Copies of this chain bind each other. A is one copy, B any other.
Amino acid sequence: MQTVAVKNIPRADADVVSRLESFGVATVHEAQGRVGLADPYMRPIYAGARIAGSAVTVLAHPGDNWMLHVAVELCQPGDVLVVGVSADDTSGMFGDLLATSVMSRGVKGLVIDAGVRDIRDLTQMGFPVWSRAVSAQGTVKETLGAVNVPIVCAGARVSPGDVVIADDDGVCIVPASTAADVALKAASRTQNEEEKREQFAAGELGLDIYQMRERLAAAGLVYVDSAADLDEY
């Protein structure tokens, strides 16, 4: 492993990032073909936040948050700090002091495959975090990892500069190279869903809207009047 910090990374277009933020995780994840989602154990420390930004990535080791301090200096306004760990860990690597530090640099939030602490303070500061755990367990500063290299965070590949979208539904990663295209698809999807929502609200059925009845019958679905008509169960 190279113990390295990469100073300059590509960042996605601010407008694309902004649009992806507006669509949210579920829509963006669908728009890019149902890949890039972090594992669902990643939960926000408080409800209601939605952010998107360019990923500054950190590869840390269990129980050691040294690399987070290295990463802070390389953050720019609009970035999201994304931390992967070389082994399962729930230590509380990040608290209110680091939050104060990254907020002063315009970082929008943190996604960390480990623990976080001082969550009452972070909530009051309005600094959103998605984490695997809440834990007060402190960490050391002894082992080098890397900053701004490709990492895995909660099962998702993240390269520096990828767009991170996070909200109450979880965390999704969009490669910088496809972000603009995904934003277009997400916009189209959103518009389509708008129309569908009105139909559903009016009482129309998905069976009809999506013309599923014929395909269901072809697949072998049988309707019976009541349980008395069942052969088994």
Interface residues of A (CB under 8 A from B): 1-9, 24-26, 29-30, 32-35, 37, 39-40, 43, 46-48, 50, 59, 61-64, 66, 69-70, 72-73, 86-92, 95-98, 100-101, 103-105, 115, 117-120, 123, 133-138, 140-144, 148-152, 155-157, 160, 167-170, 172, 175, 177-178, 193, 196-197, 200-203, 205-207, 210, 212, 216, 219-227, 229-233
Contacts and interface: CB of A to CB of B under 8 A. Distances in A.
- Of A62, A118, A220, which is in contact with the most chain B CB atoms at under 10 Å from its CB? A62
Contact of A91 (B87, B148, B156): B87
A144 B34 contact: no
A142 B221 CA distance: 12
B231 A72 contact: no
A223 B5 contact: yes
A25 to B, nearest CB: 5
B105 A203 contact: yes
A225 to B, nearest CB: 6
A133 to B, nearest CB: 5
B144 A221 contact: yes
Contacts of A66: 212, 216
Contacts of A177: 231-232
Contacts of A98: 200, 206
Contacts of A39: 88
Given A6-B230, A9-B227, A201-B100, A34 B137 contact: yes
A37 B92 CA distance: 11
A40 B133 contact: yes
B169 A119 contact: yes
Contacts of A175: 232-233
Contacts of A119: 168-169
Given A37-B137, A48-B120, A220 B3 contact: yes
A217 to B, nearest CB: 10
Nearest to A104: B203
Given A7-B226, A216-B144, A70 B1 contact: no
Given A7-B225, A137-B86, A226-B6, A34 B1 contact: yes
Given A88-B39, A118-B169, A222 B4 contact: yes
